[in-house]
Chains A and B, each alone.
Chain A
């Protein structure tokens, strides 16, 4: 709950908000009757400028060091890793908006990410297979009929699951614009329907988390079936080959995708930052802090939640659509519930309730994770036992995650508060929507560690 000293009484406009979870910068109170002087969106959120500056410097640095555009100090596969990391940062930002700002701990956001990947993967796979099939059919004495072409594509794509017909969900796969629309529409509609069902029956808190987890589990189990129409557990593969750019070296493709990912992150960051600022941002954070009170104030809480949930699902899907052409393969394991929990872990470690925190968390943990599991970290000799990080990394991650939750709930992003000398006001419910158990109301024994 915001302290009432800052807010204008109901006759004036509500305070314009600040970046999430933080005390809004002191607004000069206008004398009664005079309109409140509003500063520009960027001026109210200086962190956006800093973030964009850091992102463009990073992009510039990588471009200079890349193989295709610069010195070639960074390998193509590392550029791909960096590009993928930027996509993960984008989905983490989307996650932070629903969780850190709106208080919905969605354990199903990687489902939207994966659906976006599947949607773009369908086009990539179809277009590429079509080229191969056309190449094969060109040698035939008789030109092929459209039916023969589509049969051949079907056999080529679905031979691995013992089918040969293109299912109905591939109806738009031949067209890039239509399939790009699917990237947004399919996850958006899923989020809209799921969110509408969940929010209207006022499922909140951990129940909602479990429900979203069930949704992603159901989706991944469905996709694991061979007759799901998306090649079962084989998934879609060969996505790194972009049709029309066969002769472009992977080095060029990787840096192009890196730029695209960086641009998407920048645009997504600004768009989401704009969405959670201003009056709507205040309402959204109000919902996080005390949903019932916002509802009593006359806001239609469900609509706000649904908007935020669907918007972030769409952003997640776009991130997925950029991620999987760089990863090259997508299969249902990517949608398994564990992936979404890891997303929550990144956001929590980075510091939720601030968008740059999500970016830092996703980049830091996913890069560190691939460094440890890729065998990059040196083994530790203990004399009686050798700690091999490929085995022990998850133990370390799990325990450090517990430590962050217990001792540094603000995450890595909290360090910036030290630079800023910004002190968090002591408020209840700062870290989540649920004031939770009854203990705090009836004489708590302990204060939450700050």
Chain B
């Protein structure tokens, strides 16, 4: 008992020192604090919030977490941690440990769910202006997750003191969304809704849709309320649907379906006849209806409700959609805002789609640029081009097996893939293709033979399952512009790679000795040879260059798709399409072809996003038709290099 007195004295000292402190406020509201209820706790919370004391936020948090206890002897409040049968008590103002108490002297305060929500509401105000920016952010995101009316005022208050510009913008946005749903006056809400029309975020759309939430109904006359629209059976919804709705609301009797009629007839066969009709004649709907009508007339089955009765029932009722929000001014504003938002979203999706198309185009470009050199410039059709892509991808995979650092391995893999594919290309040119320069159709078949051999070889070595080619960490994630427009870094990287190779190829062909010789051999090998150029060597190098680029494309494609032995054949037809559509023998043509095919495929997918197969089908059909009108592709070369 002496110990207790000592404790009381110790605790009382600071209370005396500061007249207005946490404990004293609590003591003023001791009853509400000890057994809080949702209706009464408000005044205490208001007093606490008004006091401006530093410990209030902490207190509220721990109060909410049921950490606060009241000591039976003197009615003082403490923070407590329970260990066994005793509580360790801490002062609520300072947090200092002030002693222990047996559980018999302690009453735990257990605020119920309603109270804790009230506390949280008050707490939000504190958290929103907390000096720690992370806690402010957490509070803002908590509001965004579950918006409610009472958060609006504290949020608006905290905006005035917010210092972080990003968080300030976020708070303003959130305040706008909250105001649209929860502001007091209609004018305020309409103003808030109108200010939302410039946004595209998912939150704004959800908030507007929430305001516009509606339910459908059917009645004999239009009810009072904010009617969104009325439906006319037959045009807005089918008559069958409308009648089903009537049946569901209990406003009409269900019409027996064909199956119902058949079952009813089967159940009422009487001596080989149903309702006077022989069973054998029941193999069409008219006689069945007749028999059922006879049964219905006898009252054995419910009446068959014919089309006339159904449409009479439909015309006696009105089908409508009614807003949950009563004020038409608000729903009108929300509808206008939503349509503006959707226009913006549509434009955003357009941009997003263009970015997607651009990225697909750069992949096709990378896959086809090598082909543009071998097929376009040299006129050699290389069906094994896809396998060179595969070769490059597997090179990347093997490098990753030996070099665990993904960034480093990528930088090793790119030149190595070029080297491997270059070697394979040169070997193929030397061994096979140069014997077939004047027999292009046979080149096609011979290189196809190489293609199936290489594919099977890869399958034998690496197995049939897909191998991963992991991209370095800095390529993970996506560049997010807003909720609609985003593009992954890997696709940006592929786009950049495609640009680099476009520049590189153009540089080699237009600015180097090799390029000059390549163009000379392409245009007139005999003349080139007489000028001292070795056409054999040039052909070999050109073919190696085209193949090597395919190897690099393989690494790039492997980064975002999986590495399998069939990955090359997935691109080969598209690559040829790209070259043919773009115009043979021209790098710019390949670029145009890739853009056309990539953009087109994404564009068709936009109409029917779930069905990429259909998109590819229609794209190929389009290309077949396109070649009708521009047989030489988009960029047609004049003269003999075009393959005439």
Contacts and interface: CB of A to CB of B under 8 A. Distances in A.
A337 B576 CA distance: 13
B449 A437 contact: no
A124 interface: no
B440 A394 contact: no
Contact of B435 (A140, A146, A446): A446
A398 B282 contact: no
Interface residues of B, number: 69
B449 A345 contact: yes
Contacts of B624: 194, 197-198, 211, 214-215, 218
Contact of B573 (A202, A222, A337): A337
Interface in A292-349: 337-338, 341, 344-345, 348
Contact of A398 (B451, B460, B529, B616): B451
A439 B438 contact: yes
A439 B525 contact: yes
Nearest to A348: B445
B435 A201 contact: no
B453 A398 contact: yes
Interface stretch (A45-53, A263-271, A353-361, A428-436): A428-436
B425 to A, nearest CB: 15
Interface string B183-198: 0000000000000000
Contacts of B525: 437-439, 442
B627 A201 contact: yes
Contact of B437 (A224, A337, A436): A436
Contact of A142 (B265, B440, B454): B265
B247 interface: no
B330 interface: no
A224 B613 contact: yes
Contacts of A194: 624
Interface string A398-429: 11111001100100000000000000000000
Residue among A146, A206, A431 with max Cβ neighbours from chain B (10 Å): A206
Contact of A214 (B383, B450, B623): B623
The SS class assigned to the B binding surface is helix
A392 interface: yes
Given A206-B444, A218-B616, A395 B460 contact: yes
A246 interface: no
A394 B617 CA distance: 29
Interface string A201-236: 111011101110111011001101100000000000
A399 B624 CA distance: 32
Given A218-B616, A225-B614, A394 B452 contact: yes
Contacts of B448: 341, 344-345, 398, 401
A145 B284 contact: yes
Interface string A45-73: 00000000000000000000000000000
Nearest to A449: B435
Interface string B440-471: 11101110111111111101100000000000
Contact of B617 (A218, A405, A434): A218
A214 B620 contact: yes
A201 B628 contact: yes
Given A398-B449, A440-B438, A197 B640 contact: no
B580 to A, nearest CB: 6
Given A141-B266, A206-B444, A214-B624, A436 B614 contact: no
B621 interface: yes
Interface in A345-393: 345, 348, 391-393
The SS class assigned to the A binding surface is helix
Interface in B238-271: 258, 262, 265-266, 269
A33 interface: no
Contacts of A222: 613-614, 617
A401 B446 contact: yes
A136 interface: no
Contacts of A345: 445, 448-449
Nearest to B279: A142
- Chain A: number of interface residues, binned into ranges: 35 or more
A205 B441 contact: yes
A10 interface: no
A143 B444 contact: no
A402 B573 CA distance: 21
B287 to A, nearest CB: 9
A205 B584 CA distance: 13
B298 interface: no
B439 interface: yes
B283 A145 contact: yes
B373 to A, nearest CB: 15
B400 interface: no
A401 B614 contact: no
A151 to B, nearest CB: 9
Contact of A436 (B440, B454, B629): B440
B569 interface: yes
Given A197-B628, A394-B453, A401-B446, A434 B441 contact: yes
B11 interface: no
A40 interface: no
Contacts of B40: none
B613 A211 contact: no
A88 B26 CA distance: 95
6 contacts: A205-B440, A213-B576, A214-B623, A392-B460, A402-B446, A432-B439
Question: 3 closest A-B pairs (Cβ-Cβ)?
Answer: A442-B526, A398-B453, A401-B449
Interface of B: 258, 262, 265-266, 269, 274, 279-280, 282-285, 288, 379, 381, 383, 432, 434-442, 444-446, 448-457, 459-460, 524-527, 529, 535-536, 569, 573, 576-577, 580, 611, 613-614, 616-617, 620-621, 623-625, 627-629, 631, 640, 643
Given A207-B631, A402-B453, A442-B527, 10 more contacts: A143-B282, A145-B283, A203-B631, A221-B620, A222-B613, A402-B449, A405-B442, A432-B442, A434-B440, A438-B524
